[in-house]
A = this chain, B = another copy of it.
Amino acid sequence: MDYSKFLSAEARAMKPNAIRALASLITRPGLTSFAGGVPSPETFPNDELADIAFRLIKDNGTVSLQYQPTRGNRNLIQFLVEYLRDKGMSDIAADQILLTGGAQQGLDLAARVLLNPGDVALAVIPSYIGGLAALNNAQARLVGVPEASDGLDLAALEATCQRLQAEGTPAKLLYTIPNFQNPSGVTLADAKRDKLVELAHQYDFLILEDDPYGELSFDEAAPAPASLRSRDRHGRVIYLGSFSKILSPGLRVGWMVAPAELAAQFERCLETAALCPSVLDQAIVAEACHSGLVLNRLPELRKFYGARCAAMLEALDKFATPDMTWTKPTGGLFIWLEAAPHVDAESLLPHMVEKGVAFVPGRPFCLDGSGKHTLRLAFSKETPAAITAGMETLLKGISALTSLAAQL
């Protein structure tokens, strides 16, 4: 039977995940992998979480194994109110917070509630694939804004907004990951942040601020700049947070901060989308937060990923050829490598996998189809020693293949 006639317009708009299509290549055992954009399981506090889960189920299964209201675990929401206050967001009350089954669910809720087919959504080039997919599934018209080494190009953003207004299709939403962004590792400079919020107000769009990596600044003395949400006096910013990178992604717990009216609308959408995300996961994370486990571990996590990033940057300094450039992240999990313009990262990948190294080609992150010669390199999975060796293989390999190609 042919089911295509039963598919909705939304289903027809859904694109296969380009990274998923590479899964059989990049998940081969034995590879040195810079591919998976996931936290290292070495950072998971297994023993502590096992104890917490045991007690929550054994002593309080009546609550932790039962349905709960869609809005989410009250203790965790209360923790977030205090946490956000400490981050300079003292205006956020519980009715502005919604717990989600990971930040990805928040992206989807925001896209569903805010975007009609054809609405213009702005996104940084490059951007996280899952964020672009959420906008795409809402059948928004995606318009790209380039990124400089200090983040989103504000002049280009303003010019784009003017053009869109003149064309009668003003932007409704901007999707951005201001801190240590996936895939580029770039951070939006402190000095540009107030201006970005003002532009949202001036050109009447909302900002979807996705911040899963904000706590992972490698330098304890230099945390990520204050969030866009903390600078927002106009009610323009919807903020997405996550425990995936600072505790565990298998526990699916993220959160949204939004004006109360929108938070209620997201909650209504979530109620039908899932009734409630995992009650046990939220209870575990609430306990991990209140016991101090989450925040106390941050210095250790920052060191852990900082050492891996340093190893990758050192290898780049040592083995990269002069036709390559790359970002120098100060936090997060990713470095973005631009090879020489004639390099095709997608055809490079199988050759590199043969040599034992995996990465993700950059083009799927670029909504305008650019980025053919770019690579996303995650430094989260491998040890510093493996990173050094793997980067030598990768960079020498690129160089050998490109010079071979030049000779042919």
Residues of A within 8 A of B (CB): 1, 3, 6-11, 14, 16-17, 20, 38-39, 41, 44, 46-47, 49-51, 53-55, 57-58, 61-68, 101-102, 104-105, 107-108, 112-116, 119, 130, 133-134, 137-138, 172, 206, 234-235, 244, 248-252, 259, 261-262, 265, 268-269, 271-281, 284
Q: Which single residue of chain B is at the shortest CB-CB distance from A250?
A: B279
**Number of identical monomers bound together in the oligomeric complex:** 2
Check B8 against A114 for contact (C-beta < 8 Å).
yes
The docked-state distance in angstroms from the alpha carbon of A138 to that of B115 is: 14
Contacts of A104 in B (CB 8 A): 272-275
Check B50 against A46 for contact (C-beta < 8 Å).
no
> Which 3 residue pairs are nearest across A and B when measured between Cβ atoms?
A46-B61, A250-B279, A278-B278
Check A101 against B274 for contact (C-beta < 8 Å).
yes
20 contacts between A and B (CB under 8 A): A7-B113, A8-B113, A8-B115, A10-B113, A10-B269, A11-B265, A14-B272, A17-B268, A44-B61, A46-B57, A50-B54, A66-B249, A67-B244, A67-B250, A107-B272, A137-B269, A137-B272, A249-B279, A250-B278, A251-B280
Check A49 against B61 for contact (C-beta < 8 Å).
yes
Check B65 against A251 for contact (C-beta < 8 Å).
yes
The docked-state distance in angstroms from the alpha carbon of A66 to that of B40 is: 9
Min CB distance, A132 to chain B, in Å? 9
Check A275 against B130 for contact (C-beta < 8 Å).
yes
Min CB distance, A55 to chain B, in Å? 8
